[in-house]
Chain A
Amino acid sequence: MDNLRELYQEVILDHNKNKRNYRKIENPDGFAHGVNPLCGDQIDVYLDLKDGVVEDISFDGQGCAICTSSASMMTVALKGKTEAEAQALFKSFHHALTDEKQHPEDVPLGKLKVLTGVKEFPVRVKCATLAWHTFDAAFKKLKDEITTE
């Protein structure tokens, strides 16, 4: 039960119930659709960049509590971050959930740390990382578009 409390901490349950930035952005700079076929989680991530900074980020879709709260917390964490900071945070978050060893370049996770309890539930790790992968896909698509234009 202790593991379970770790997994479903109050903060997580709160983000699941009261989703932050849960909306569409019309004509976003970046957009991607993410699916976790295992549990049917589906997330859309919308992204606006201005001068290399995440000016606005939002999500919608349907997912389990871990997926939803992770998406919600991600949008809060990423807003106002530079592209480089956002990438570093994604990498560090991913390492924290999937890797045993420490990575010297990892940055502090701040509030996202509450999600690391998911590590004890290997089948749920993908739920927590889906939003981030979707963000990454939206970001990469955007970069591709910029470099190919």
Chain B
Amino acid sequence: MSNVAQYDVESIRNDFPILATEVHGKPLVYLDNAASSQHPVQVIHAIKDLYESGYSNIHRGVHQLSQDATKAYENSRAAIRGFINADCIHEIIFTSGTTESINLVAQSYARPLLKKGDEILITHMEHHSNIVPWQMICEQTGAELKVVPISDQGELEMDRFAELLSEKTKIVSVVHVSNALGTVNPIKEIIDAAHAKGIAVLVDGAQAVSHIPVDVQALGCDFYAFSGHKLYGSTGIGALYGKEKLLNKMPPYKGGGDMILSVSFEKTEYNTLPYKFEAGTPNIAGAIGLGTAIEYVQSIGLGAIAAHEHGLLEYATSKLKEIDGLRIIGQAEQKAGLISFVLDQVHPHDIGTLLDMEGVAIRTGHHCAQPVMERYKIPATARASFAMYNTFAEIDVLNEAIKKTIGMFS
């Protein structure tokens, strides 16, 4: 809790209008950030201002508004580049989110490359969006999906990873931070091991970018995917980082406008990066909002945010561990700010409803990670996930609400 003195959580909270609302007559305690985070006024205003005074379709427009909107859109791309320290701007492709980013890599990178007998390596803690696209590739190419197991604590079994990484492996796709367990995976180690065998690595950073500083060059990953709506931006926007060398070789993922240089019915010449992968009119406002969200995060500093959230995690973990009959699912050494838990006496679905009546928003269910649930032989978990604006007092509210829930059921 040492960083709390400098970290002005109250002034951050003032930037998020929704945090002042009440739910069922109680102050909102928003702990569902892993599903989607809230928006600061800066982002809301950026989007509002765009629509009120700066909106137009981008690219190819000669008029002033189009030029302004194009500039703002491209500035956001530049902001993302800086945020994850990509080498160049055109390595940043706007997508609708993590899911589309992963599908893009699966279809454009993996599908042309893979054949029968090849293997795709993922882990047991992946979100469905990092499982299903690969199963589709397996069906389409005859390749096989291999899965790195996880330990009882919720950590990857790295010796099994080393064994599964073989001559047959053509791509490794791994989650940076697990949305179901909170585990921060040793992705640098994974990337280095894969690269030693010439295998490309995609990192699902959906749960990472808002919680820990990410430097794609230092990591060396070939692809990095994330969503705007978990990074204080809006839904329907996200990004894929890819190494220029690989992106250049990949065929487009979707066909349409903006991704071509010239079209005739005989031959179409594809546009250069990143536009080759951005067919159709994009989510302009979403992209501009995301750029603003990133600037906002940078103004506070991911280091400070990470330290604050770590403090929350430690505090919440120690509090929740004292509760009789509460079991934390996912006790990895390295964790980001979320706690998945189950109660002996109360099903997660009931926990969700009862906490909601106390104004506490958490998520219950399988968190789109059914293999994780099956691994720990539970139908679902309750999950509290933290963001930069959560407070220690809110953890106390959560703690009391859980105790009250247990009281009602005993």
Residues of A whose CB lies within 8 Å of any CB of B are 1, 3-4, 7-8, 13, 16, 37-42, 62-68, 121, 124, 127
Contact = CB atoms under 8 A, between A and B. Distances in A.
Contact of A63 (B347, B366, B408): B347
24 contacts: A1-B357, A4-B353, A4-B357, A7-B353, A8-B354, A8-B408, A13-B409, A16-B409, A39-B347, A39-B348, A39-B365, A40-B348, A40-B373, A41-B349, A41-B379, A63-B349, A64-B347, A65-B346, A65-B350, A66-B349, A66-B350, A67-B349, A124-B349, A124-B353
A66 B346 CA distance: 11
A65 B409 contact: yes
A64 B365 contact: no
B31 interface: no
Contacts of B357: 1, 3-4
Given A1-B357, A62-B347, 9 more contacts: A13-B409, A37-B366, A39-B347, A39-B365, A40-B349, A41-B349, A64-B350, A65-B346, A65-B409
Contacts of A127: 349
Contacts of A62: 347, 379
Sorted from nearest, which 6 A-B pairs have the closest CB atoms?
A40-B379, A64-B349, A64-B347, A39-B349, A40-B380, A65-B350
Nearest to B365: A39
Given A13-B409, A66-B350, A121-B353, A42 B379 contact: yes
A13 B407 CA distance: 12
A39 B380 contact: yes
A13 to B, nearest CB: 7
A63 B277 CA distance: 44
A40 B373 CA distance: 10
Nearest to A35: B379
Contacts of A68: 347
A9 B86 CA distance: 57
A112 to B, nearest CB: 19
B365 A40 contact: yes
B386 to A, nearest CB: 23
B134 to A, nearest CB: 21
Nearest to B348: A39
Interface in B295-354: 346-350, 353-354
B292 interface: no
Contacts of B379: 39-42, 62-63
A63 B379 CA distance: 8
Contacts of B347: 39, 62-65, 67-68
B364 interface: yes
Contacts of B348: 39-40, 64
A11 to B, nearest CB: 14
A40 B366 contact: yes
Nearest to B378: A40
A127 B352 CA distance: 13
B353 A38 contact: no
A4 B352 CA distance: 12
Contacts of B365: 38-40
A16 B349 CA distance: 13
Contacts of B380: 39-40
A55 B365 CA distance: 35
Nearest to B25: A1
Contacts of A63: 347, 349, 379
Contacts of A1: 357
B202 to A, nearest CB: 27
A41 B353 CA distance: 15
Contacts of B349: 38-41, 63-67, 124, 127
Residue from the set B350, B354, B364, B365 with the largest chain A CB neighbour count within 10 Å: B350
A3 to B, nearest CB: 8
Nearest to A4: B357
